[in-house]
Amino acid sequence: MLVACLSPWRALPDVGTGAGALELEAFLSSATYDDDGVPDVSRAVVLQRQTLRGRLDLGVGERLALRLHAPMIRAVAIDAATADAKSVVAMGDVGAGLGLLVVDDALQVVIRADVTAPLYTAQPSRQGRQPDDDGAPGPLPAVGDGQADASASVVVGAAFPFDGFFWGELGYRLRTGGITDAVFGRGVLSAAALGGRLWPRWRHAFAFSLDAASDRPEVIGQSVAETGPGVAVRLDDVADGLSLEIDAVVRVRGRNAAGGTAMMTGIMYVF
């Protein structure tokens, strides 16, 4: 959801309006959550990941909006004992989706449908491959799961009586490869400060992967819970609708996933 600088807040942009963003995220792992969700801080490999992501939300019809996103990822795996580093740079999972505003009152409700597809090669176990090998897992860090996904979700949000808003999303992700489906959610709580020039916020997100089905071989997907503060700084003196965004995220729980922290910064333009 692209919501910074929208006041009064709206769940979706109107026809012919929208918002675009370019953001940079840096993630550093500090632990690995195993299949039981137990963190292991004595890791043999340290994972670093930088993601440059472009996003666009555009109103394309009455109560209908299109969303596009595409990331470029640099992942580095560093051997903690030898300091030997292996890195890979690749496009990540690109996505497209539609949002339909079904309730437009004090409380706004949006139904979403999204698809993502990989522009890289990876094993279902999330292990990376060498670019020129025969498909066996290699030492390169993975940039994703290597399969197409489809998801459906419901977004509920509203503006506060003062300058502020909240929104929350809950959905189901259908994974088309050999990884289990997942339930996911995310949300934002934000209020204006300094006359609307600053918008401090708190973000939270989770994904819970289902257990493997008994009638077919599947790898249990990643489960994570992340939370952290952020702020959007309006730059109307530079250009109307322009803002700077800064966020910090801590991965507080996980399963089959790396735990750690991330810092994100980006520029958003609302038009």
Task: Say what the pLDDT of residue 131 is.
Answer: 47
* CA dihedral for 162, 245, 108, 168, sign (positive or negative): negative
Mean pLDDT of 102-122: 89
Classify residue 179 by its DSSP letter.
Answer: B
| Class for the domain spanning 18-270 | mainly beta
Domains in the chain: boundaries = 18-270
Spatial separation of the C-alpha atoms in residues 150 and 2, rounded to whole Å: 20
8 — pLDDT class (breaks 50, 70, 90): low
To 10 degrees, the CA torsion angle through 1, 66, 263, 238? -90
Spatial separation of the C-alpha atoms in residues 51 and 71, rounded to whole Å: 6
Residue from 196, 200, 186 nearest 235 by CA: 196
Q: What percent of the chain has pLDDT over 70?
A: 86
- The pLDDT of residue 43 is above 60: yes
* CA dihedral for 254, 256, 260, 266, sign (positive or negative): negative
- Round the average pLDDT of the chain to a whole number and report it: 85
- The pLDDT of residue 113 is above 70: yes
- The pLDDT of residue 2 is above 50: no
Measured CA distances, 260 to 57, 175, 180, 228 (Å): 29, 25, 23, 12
Classify residue 14 by its DSSP letter.
Answer: P
pTM of the shown model:
0.87
Spatial separation of the C-alpha atoms in residues 236 and 167, rounded to whole Å: 24
Task: Say what the pLDDT of residue 150 is.
Answer: 97
Task: Say what the pLDDT of residue 78 is.
Answer: 82
Q: Could you tell me the two tokens for 124?
A: 């279902």
**Weakest mean pLDDT among 157-161, 171-175, 219-223:** 219-223
Task: Say what the pLDDT of residue 208 is.
Answer: 95
**For 46-90, how does the pLDDT look when each residue is reduced to its tens digit (9 = 90+)?**
788 999 999 999 999 989 999 999 999 998 888 777 778 888 888
Q: Which residue type, as a one-letter code, is found at position 86?
A: K
* CA dihedral for 61, 62, 64, 67, sign (positive or negative): positive
**For 162-209, how does the pLDDT look when each residue is reduced to its tens digit (9 = 90+)?**
889 999 999 999 988 778 899 999 999 999 999 889 999 999 999 999
* CA dihedral for 178, 94, 200, 59, sign (positive or negative): negative
